[in-house]
Structure 1
């Protein structure tokens, strides 16, 4: 059983701010000499007569400065140093070895076992104070670093908490945005509509959809709001409200005639009305591109207006690809901008594809873009694939082209396949 000798502590007023040190030596006389020197230098001194006792004292009082003899029965000074270093969760301890050894190899051994410094017996009071002053400076810097690390850790934990909260909100927002496109496939008998909407992040700025414009007409639209993230997603939600047939009086593409009857406006008028809305009602720095098309299910005639969106593609029954449209300015850039209407005709077996630039501007690892030519090759390769399966195949081909399915932009498309009567 090892005894622990500790001198009476001075009054609290004297202890306030005094550095504390643990002196470890199996020689009581040597401890007394060192302790007297240290107290004269303003230290609060704790004593232990063995390495085992020193571990208890250091743990009990949270001591960070240790002056220990090298040679002691049982646990040596280097062994004590290593044991202190291996404690879990303990703050840094500045450890000085006292030794009569003066060979470099032995001193190096002590330093390798974790000691910070060493003093050769007999100890000079001036040298002891100088070494301890250096140790205290290091402990002060270590304490400041620890405090800053804890502040950084607390800040990171708070940021993680906020991130998790935002991430949870964005996941819910993703569900709400997906609900804007409830029906991803619809069969009108003489034609089928398939939709693709895949955000590159939690939420995106693309919007696709369709609605029955009259007994014989359907409207198709593909929209891409500038930017990414929450503000773009909010814009798509507002635009979706202006194309909702559940409240036709608010649908920007419909005009009231009489009673409960509405008629669909020409495609260029619809896009112009959107531009007026963005310029005069919705005050935002965002703009969007769009293709708005009206399909006559009886005749196969299509009128469409392109405003900054990729060119609509028509794949004929025989597999040939055509691009239609005239470019046009994005919506919301210039007040009073004009838009043109383009007409085309679908024969039974033909199909029309409206897609965002997330497809055509997707790039290879080398930086080369897919563009319209690459999209045409994909459509040609899968001429016999129909409906949602074709859109899934396009995404798979695009992932192979890009080298990853982590696409840099939102992907969206409207596929209309005309069967005719």
Structure 2
């Protein structure tokens, strides 16, 4: 076994379009090895000569060896067995194997291919044909080398993307906590009524928001809104709108106006929707819009004033179990500059309850794609008429999951349950 040197400057050079390769010649015949090595050196290859397959397998640990010209018939280990063992090795680069054989039987050729050979050349070796097959092997090796390099690039990119997604996931989890903090209480108790709240996002964060704010000693405001789209952008918009309907700063609350003698009074709900519409179109300047249901409740009398701006029809369940749906629809907020809204009046009697909800509830699809709808919601209300507060809302969520066959909801689900008890004892 000996390792040849690079050819002299007078030796013919390789095709410049082809990469430089290192070739191993494996043959137990000294004469055959000398002939093959001489040809390959003349063509400009760095040649490694080897007479025993066992030693050749050890040398294959060198990743620079990318071409092998091997005899078929050798003592101890034939060409196909050498191919099989070479293919079983873990190598950084691919080794293209050309078997030299005097066999012409198709079954023998198939046996060699199955063992891992890439090509065959019959003896006696023809120089131009050998060179052509070596060049063909070079192209295969070059393509494999390029594929490996690109796979490494893809793997590195995927690792970087995975790290970015992990960071984004952590940020979204924190955003989910911050959004949940917008709804600090899941239940509010008043002298003549109780309000319970449900907010469940379909993803980390969502575009639904429900809440409550005091208006005066005898009035409260309830709101449910649903921003178009999903994800972070919608969640940021709900956070901004929460600041406009907050209970912490009445002077910032767009639904209130300061009285001349002090204190605050509620604006008519349709004027609040108009204000928000101007805010969205003139200040926010975004493609987002939202639906809204805003209710002002007079606690002593049970009278409600409300605006329905593209939001689902609120449901009133009377004390005897009957269910009525309020409102006539209306345009969403932030969609058209000349949108007009109206204030609707209704009255709750002691024992009645009002359910305000987002379309993620009534538009929840069942296994066959059919939506729950108002009819399905009516059945849930009637089935759970004896349940109150959070217990009813939890049951509502359970019934909705049963309707969807346990699958995740495609949209955010939010609701307010207002139970009116009447005059305080």
Instruction: Return the TM-score normalized by structure 2.
Output: 0.93
What CA RMSD, in Å, does the superposition of the two structures yield over aligned residues? 2.1
Counterpart-to-counterpart distance in 2, 1:230 and 1:306: 25
Shift in Å, 1:204 = 0.9
Counterpart-to-counterpart distance in 1, 2:20 and 2:41: 10
Q: 1:7 corresponds to which residue?
A: 4
Shift in Å, 1:183 = 0.8
1:339 and 2:356 correspond = no
Counterpart-to-counterpart distance in 1, 2:114 and 2:360: 59
Shift in Å, 1:386 = 1.3
CA contact (8 A) 1:22 1:58 kept: no
Among 213, 219, 222, the alignment partner of 1:220 is: 222
Among 251, 254, 263, the alignment partner of 1:261 is: 263
Give the 5 Å matches for 1:313-332: 313-332=315-334
Counterpart-to-counterpart distance in 1, 2:272 and 2:159: 49
CA contact (8 A) 2:71 2:99 kept: yes
Counterpart-to-counterpart distance in 2, 1:111 and 1:182: 71
| Unaligned stretches of 5+ residues in structure 1 | none
1:278 and 2:275 correspond = no
Shift in Å, 1:10 = 4.4
Q: Does the residue aligned with 1:281 lie in a helix, a strand or coil?
A: helix
CA contact (8 A) 1:355 1:412 kept: yes
Q: 2:25 corresponds to which residue?
A: 23
Counterpart-to-counterpart distance in 2, 1:48 and 1:186: 88
Among 147, 150, 175, the alignment partner of 1:148 is: 150
CA contact (8 A) 1:24 1:68 kept: yes
Shift in Å, 1:336 = 4.0
Counterpart-to-counterpart distance in 2, 1:356 and 1:13: 84
Shift in Å, 1:193 = 1.0
Counterpart-to-counterpart distance in 2, 1:294 and 1:330: 19
Q: 1:239 corresponds to which residue?
A: 241
Counterpart-to-counterpart distance in 2, 1:13 and 1:404: 78
Q: Does the residue aligned with 1:213 lie in a helix, a strand or coil?
A: strand
Among 109, 124, 143, the alignment partner of 1:107 is: 109
| Distance change (3 Å), C-alpha of 1:102 and 1:64 | same
Give the stretch that moved more between structures: 217-226 or 144-153: 144-153
Shift in Å, 1:197 = 0.9
CA contact (8 A) 2:197 2:416 kept: yes
Instruction: Return the TM-score normalized by structure 1.
Output: 0.93
| Distance change (3 Å), C-alpha of 1:230 and 1:7 | same
Deviations 1:102-147 (A, max 9, x none): 3222221111111111222221212211211211121122222222
| Distance change (3 Å), C-alpha of 1:76 and 1:410 | same
Among 379, 390, 396, the alignment partner of 1:394 is: 396
CA contact (8 A) 2:358 2:415 kept: yes
| Distance change (3 Å), C-alpha of 1:173 and 1:292 | same
Deviations 1:34-65 (A, max 9, x none): 10111112211111221221122221252111
Q: Does the residue aligned with 1:60 lie in a helix, a strand or coil?
A: coil
Give the stretch that moved more between structures: 110-119 or 265-274: 265-274
Give the stretch that moved more between structures: 79-88 or 300-309: 79-88
Q: Any runs of at least 4 consecutive aligned residues in structure 1 with deviations exceeding 6 A, and if so which?
A: 11-16
Counterpart-to-counterpart distance in 2, 1:270 and 1:219: 12
Q: 1:46 corresponds to which residue?
A: 48
Q: 1:157 corresponds to which residue?
A: 159
Shift in Å, 1:284 = 1.4
CA contact (8 A) 1:5 1:49 kept: no
